[in-house]
Amino acid sequence: MKLTFRWYGDSDPVSLSHIRQIPGMKGIVSAVYDVPVGEAWPLETILDLKRSINEAGLELSVIESVPVHEDIKLGLPSRDRYIANYKTTLHNLGKAGVPVVCYNFMPVFDWTRSKLDYELEDGSTALIYEEEVVERMNPLTGELSLPGWDSSYEVAELQRLFSQYESVDEEKLWDNLAYFVREIMPAAEEAGIKMAIHPDDPPWPIFGLPRIMTGRASLERMIGLYDSPANGLCLCSGSLGASADNDVPELMREFGRRGRVNFVHARNVKLTGPKSFQESAHLSSSGSIDMYEVIRAMSDFDYEGPIRSDHGRMIWGETGKPGYGLYDRALGAVYLNGLWEAVRKERLGRLRLSHS
């Protein structure tokens, strides 16, 4: 596996020089943030991003994300123009040598939480999702500002989008995803890019909006839309693991052996209810996900792709974007690297015994 780290560009308080000092760190996960959603990314802008990363001694390993315009998710006639722009972006990313692109198909909102700074027992703070709190929220009041919510939407625009989504149920959203996937995957193949769709976070509907990337059946349906290694998954342990119905190591092993795991997000969560959870340190003992088993599953199919320590607590007085501080994600990356070294040596030992 290849260790990578999320970096939000020059405005990120975490610098590339900080990231490079993390033992075992190889790659950067980033994006172009100043191009409006739906417009094509210029090649020179992508090359500028890659150049700044290379000059710091790192590689641009993953683009996360190339956002999918809402008109595509809604299946509006205008979607073809935005899909054409998406293809142009993929071709330009291919020319720049970017191997993996992560994206999601969540209507309106990306990952969503109920509280930014919940204090854990050790005094650190973390992101949490409380079902009863979210159920009382009204996203159309303009009073909410939470991570994962697209702040570019004014209240009137949100109201319009919610009205449009009234006619989009899960099956209609699947139809729109299938249309998108079958259009862009040939362009991804031509560009030499592996696409990785991110599971919905959390993996259930919110505010009456459909969510369809939630577990094994939906992951299976997704890869069946287009039969190609380019049409792959981002296996996010935290997103999928927020539901007790999902056995994350087994999902990793099953889809990895089939060559469809193109990116991994390693995040641990502690389940506190059927649809409630706290984000935790990456250690298996800190949350409900056995990270050792997740890494061992990756070793079982000789995963060679990128992985990043996803979402961290805020520790040691660090401030900044909740979930994206340097310290705990760096600790998580080193922990993942240590697990990988251990399971690889264990496997090598078993192979030697079997041949002795």
pLDDT tens digits, residue range 173-192?
999 999 999 999 999 999 99
- Note the pLDDT of residue 271: 98
311 catalytic per annotation: yes
- Note the pLDDT of residue 353: 73
Tokens for 260, please give them.
């469809």
- Note the pLDDT of residue 348: 83
Q: Is the pLDDT of residue 127 over 60?
A: yes
Q: Is the pLDDT of residue 152 over 70?
A: no
Which is catalytic among the residues 129, 311, 328, 335?
A: 311
Which is catalytic among the residues 12, 201, 290, 310?
A: 310
Is residue 23 helix, strand or coil? coil
Tokens for 227, please give them.
């039969």
DSSP, res 33:
-
More confident residue, 351 or 143: 351
Instruction: Provide the CATH topology of domain 2-354.
Output: TIM Barrel (3.20.20)
As a whole number, mean pLDDT of residues 229-234 equals 98
- Note the pLDDT of residue 143: 63
Which is catalytic among the residues 69, 71, 86, 198?
A: 198
CA distances from 253 to 79, 215, 305 (A): 35, 14, 14
Which is catalytic among the residues 236, 282, 290, 328?
A: 236
Strand-pair partners of 354: none
CA distances from 16 to 4, 5, 58, 164, 262 (A): 12, 10, 8, 41, 24
310 catalytic per annotation: yes
265 catalytic per annotation: yes
pLDDT band at 147, cuts 50/70/90?
Answer: low
CA distances from 8 to 12, 30, 218 (A): 5, 6, 30
Residue ranges covered by each domain of the chain: 2-354
| Geometric angle at alpha carbon 286, from 284 and 291, rounded to 5° | 20
DSSP, res 235:
E
Tokens for 249, please give them.
């190591």
Which is catalytic among the residues 303, 324, 328, 335?
A: 324
As a whole number, mean pLDDT of residues 17-46 equals 97
Can you list the alpha helix ranges (DSSP code H) found in 96-197? 131-136, 155-165, 170-191
236 catalytic per annotation: yes
Average pLDDT of the chain, as a whole number: 94
- CB contact at 8 A, 313 and 279: yes
Read off the pLDDT of residues 241-300 as tens digits, 9 standing for 90 and up: 999 999 999 999 999 999 999 999 999 999 999 999 999 999 999 999 999 999 999 999
More confident residue, 351 or 111: 111
Which is catalytic among the residues 71, 226, 265, 328?
A: 265
How far apart (Å, rounded) are the C-alpha atoms in residues 235 and 264? 5
- Note the pLDDT of residue 266: 98
Q: Is the pLDDT of residue 117 over 80?
A: yes
pTM of whole model > 0.85? yes
234 catalytic per annotation: no
Q: Is the pLDDT of residue 204 over 80?
A: yes
Amino acid identity at 267:
R
